[in-house]
Structure 1
Amino acid sequence: MNDGVVLRETRVRTGEVRSLVWDGDDLLDPVGGWRRWSPDGTEHRCERRKFGRPYDRAVTSPSGRWTVVYGERGTDGLLLDGRRVVRELPRDEYHAEDFDHPVGLGALSDGREVLVHCPEAYNRLQIEDVATGERLAVAPDEPELSPFHSRLTISPGGRWLMSAGWVWHPAGICRVYDLDRALADPSVLDGQGLLTYWPLIDAETDSACWLDGDRLALAAGDIGGEPEEDGSVDEERELGQHQLGVWSCSTAKWLYRNELPGPIGTILGCGEAVLALYGHPRLFDIRTGDLLAQWPELSLPRRQGAYGVTHTPSPVAALHPDGSRVALAVKGGIAVIRVG
């Protein structure tokens, strides 16, 4: 294990940072008025006014052209083309204060950049061409299933859509939808998807992230994973409590499942590792579950899952597109750590 000495950390003292996205090798804080930092830590302030509403998160499209700023537990968001406001993005108000805003930007397999969100109902996904606003796929008006969609991300290459949300128990779940099929038949967005809470996952999903265009990493939390009534546990199929699993969408099977020391919170895919952001950054090998490095001096929120009546904000983090480093908002500024 490495304690963070070889995997270098860089810090910038700059006060509170509301959001982080990469622009080449520069870092931007869209919510904070488009503040910019160059790789040497120099801050370049922007004179543009800040947004009037209490936004605290931002996501960008793969090209960097489109940005959505929004409140993690709010009902409002804005779609931006560069710095220009294009339109408001509403969110269904039902339990909005209890779970993370379902919104994501990505690109389809044909290169079109899309917006995925739930403007009309918490359980009704909508996919739009972000440039034109055209609705490409909308789940049925009266969905048969009622997941609370959250943390929406599209896989590299544009084949799969992931929702890391929750259902009434309450319990965190992960759903993965085939985007090619959904564009031809939107009812696919009302299905169970490729992964089911049971029997493939027998514990609550705290978080999930894409490793590449096929593989998905999932971190299971505190709830679930108990033996069946007869005392059996189907270890060949199930992801259990406090495990890190890697699922292949193309082969529909677990590639790796390994025990974790406890909850690891939000995870970011870093090649053959995931960076866990629970309490402080820790880097885990996806193949073995081994702890590769940690940075205990960087304090982060102890946040699990996408829901919770008592809200602990998610860590503000941005993975560089080349996967080599992660920027984190920490007390008094920004830390950038090398992960690859």
Structure 2
Amino acid sequence: MPFHLISLPALSVSPGPIAVMHPLPDEQNVSVLALNHACELWKLNLTTGLAENLLQIDIPDLNISHPLQVVVSKDGQYAAISNRFGRHAAVYDLLARQQIMKLSRDDYHSEVCTFPLAFAEIDGRSLLIHGTLWNRVDLTDVESGELLSKRPNAQYEDDGYLDYFHGKLYVSQDQQWIVDMGWVWQPVGVIRSWNVRDWLNNAREAEDGASVSSPWDVLLDWDLPAAWVDSQTMAIWGQVDGDQLDEEDWPDEGVLPVVILSNVLTGERSTLLRGVPAYATTSPIEDVFPHPQGQLAADGDLLFLWGKGLNMTVWNRHNSAQVATEEAFCPDLYHEKARLFLQLDSQGGISAWRYTA
């Protein structure tokens, strides 16, 4: 059995049933930020067992039973929270234990794609990337609240008009690049990337800036499972139409699941993993739009793929070989710093597992 149970101390206070967790960048301990079903935000130290109730969140129309999104700034001071497919979000200062910003986006097909939310840190400043319109994301200085991407909304006839629905955001390890898992009408997924530092110098960088690229136009879904393997290379788990790839890469016909590794700067595809499992797209939650029910994590040479109804599979990204399988193992979270897979139970307990080759 390649996954081994790691003993955790009992929590000092039970947070009750937890809806979602996110890793915290604690250098001394394994810590997570947890949102429970009472809409309380907790800090859980899994090394010492200390559990702290930080604050009560207050977000309009939040449905705690629907998919949730929590993102945390690099220094761990700020957290942004939303329903994944909601219209409203809020930002919290975890040190001051208070809400500091309310956010919203328009309702044009907001129910089908993730609320764009992410933090980046540039020159010691915490910046928030957030969706405001279906085809617009903005950049805000978290501490001052200053909008750094002021520009008019482009109309359909204007140069630079972006006919694109923004989706789930991933910021690179060096905080320089944003990857956006959005879509366009057919509907079909279109993944775009652009440079954060360039955005600070050009308010329209996210629409038509020089750094914008889209090297993953062969993937069909949006809001895809993905992970950075280094500051320039991203692994993305999706579905590909063989007709859009070179015959030497993809002699088969039809749509099949793959993991693609590409360089964000150059657009060069370094690896194409075939034979990976297909994630489910139908949500088990009523009234939630279909979306990928899978997760992907990277650790050195290894990629981990898992999801609802799937076995956990482990792949070597260099030789494209599957190196391990764990049946019926579906953790809620991968804690990258601790190299732990965390799994919740219905009472708020947390189990930890580590992969050993």
The TM-score with structure 2 as length reference comes to 0.75
Partner of 2:89: 77
Correspondence 1:65 to 2:72:
no
- AA partner of residue 68 (structure 1): A
Paired with 1:72 and 1:299, the residues of 2 have a C-alpha distance of 20
Partner of 2:228: 210
Q: How does 1:285-296 map to 2 (within 5 A)?
A: 285-296=316-327
CA spacing shift, 1:186–1:325, aligned 2, 3 Å: same
Partner of 1:134: 146
**SS in structure 1 of the partner of residue 46 of structure 2:** coil
Structure 1, 55-64 or 23-32: larger mean CA deviation? 23-32
Partner of 1:29: 34
Paired with 1:244 and 1:89, the residues of 2 have a C-alpha distance of 33
- AA partner of residue 283 (structure 1): V
CA spacing shift, 1:48–1:117, aligned 2, 3 Å: closer
Partner of 1:311: none
Partner of 2:167: 150
CA spacing shift, 1:330–1:246, aligned 2, 3 Å: farther
**SS in structure 2 of the partner of residue 233 of structure 1:** coil
Paired with 2:197 and 2:92, the residues of 1 have a C-alpha distance of 26
Correspondence 1:95 to 2:109:
yes
More strand by share: 2
Structure 1, 28-37 or 59-68: larger mean CA deviation? 28-37
Correspondence 1:118 to 2:131:
yes
Correspondence 1:46 to 2:46:
no
For the aligned residue pairs, the C-alpha RMSD in angstroms reads: 3.1
The 8 Å contact of residues 202 and 241 in structure 1, kept in 2 or not, is answered as no
Once the two structures are TM-superposed, the CA of residue 38 in structure 1 deviates from its matched residue by 3.2
Q: How does 1:292-311 map to 2 (within 5 A)?
A: 292-299=323-330
Instruction: Please give the per-residue CA displacement for 1:120-144, whole angstroms capped at 9, x wherever unaligned.
Output: x111121111111222235761252
**SS in structure 1 of the partner of residue 243 of structure 2:** coil
Paired with 2:80 and 2:298, the residues of 1 have a C-alpha distance of 22
**SS in structure 2 of the partner of residue 79 of structure 1:** strand
Paired with 1:255 and 1:186, the residues of 2 have a C-alpha distance of 32
CA spacing shift, 1:328–1:167, aligned 2, 3 Å: farther
Paired with 2:6 and 2:90, the residues of 1 have a C-alpha distance of 33
Paired with 2:74 and 2:42, the residues of 1 have a C-alpha distance of 20
The 8 Å contact of residues 31 and 47 in structure 2, kept in 1 or not, is answered as no
CA spacing shift, 1:253–1:324, aligned 2, 3 Å: same
- AA partner of residue 17 (structure 2): E
Once the two structures are TM-superposed, the CA of residue 106 in structure 1 deviates from its matched residue by 2.1
Instruction: Please give the per-residue CA displacement for 1:131-182, whole angstroms capped at 9, x wherever unaligned.
Output: 1122223576125232221111211112211111222222222211122322
The 8 Å contact of residues 17 and 334 in structure 1, kept in 2 or not, is answered as no
Correspondence 1:16 to 2:17:
yes
Q: 2:2 aligns with which of 1, 4, 28?
A: 4
Partner of 1:325: 340
The 8 Å contact of residues 232 and 265 in structure 2, kept in 1 or not, is answered as yes
- AA partner of residue 328 (structure 2): E
Once the two structures are TM-superposed, the CA of residue 330 in structure 1 deviates from its matched residue by 5.2
The 8 Å contact of residues 128 and 137 in structure 1, kept in 2 or not, is answered as yes
Instruction: Please give the per-residue CA displacement for 1:169-204, whole angstroms capped at 9, x wherever unaligned.
Output: 222222111223222223331139322454xx3654
Once the two structures are TM-superposed, the CA of residue 335 in structure 1 deviates from its matched residue by 3.4
Q: 2:118 aligns with which of 76, 82, 104?
A: 104
Partner of 2:352: 336
**SS in structure 1 of the partner of residue 225 of structure 2:** strand
Paired with 1:190 and 1:299, the residues of 2 have a C-alpha distance of 37
% identical equivalent positions? 17
Q: How does 1:111-260 map to 2 (within 5 A)?
A: 111-119=124-132, 121-137=133-149, 141-142=153-154, 144-191=161-208, 193-198=212-217, 201=218, 203-204=220-221, 206-221=224-239, 224-226=241-243, 233=247, 235=249, 241-260=256-275
The 8 Å contact of residues 247 and 253 in structure 1, kept in 2 or not, is answered as yes
Once the two structures are TM-superposed, the CA of residue 28 in structure 1 deviates from its matched residue by 2.6
**SS in structure 1 of the partner of residue 324 of structure 2:** strand
Partner of 1:86: 100
Which structure is higher in RCO with an 8 Å CA cutoff and minimum separation 6? 1
CA spacing shift, 1:212–1:137, aligned 2, 3 Å: farther
- AA partner of residue 255 (structure 1): S
The 8 Å contact of residues 210 and 216 in structure 1, kept in 2 or not, is answered as yes
- AA partner of residue 107 (structure 1): E
**SS in structure 1 of the partner of residue 304 of structure 2:** strand
Long gaps (5+) in structure 1:
301-315
- AA partner of residue 297 (structure 1): A
Long gaps (5+) in structure 2:
155-159, 280-293
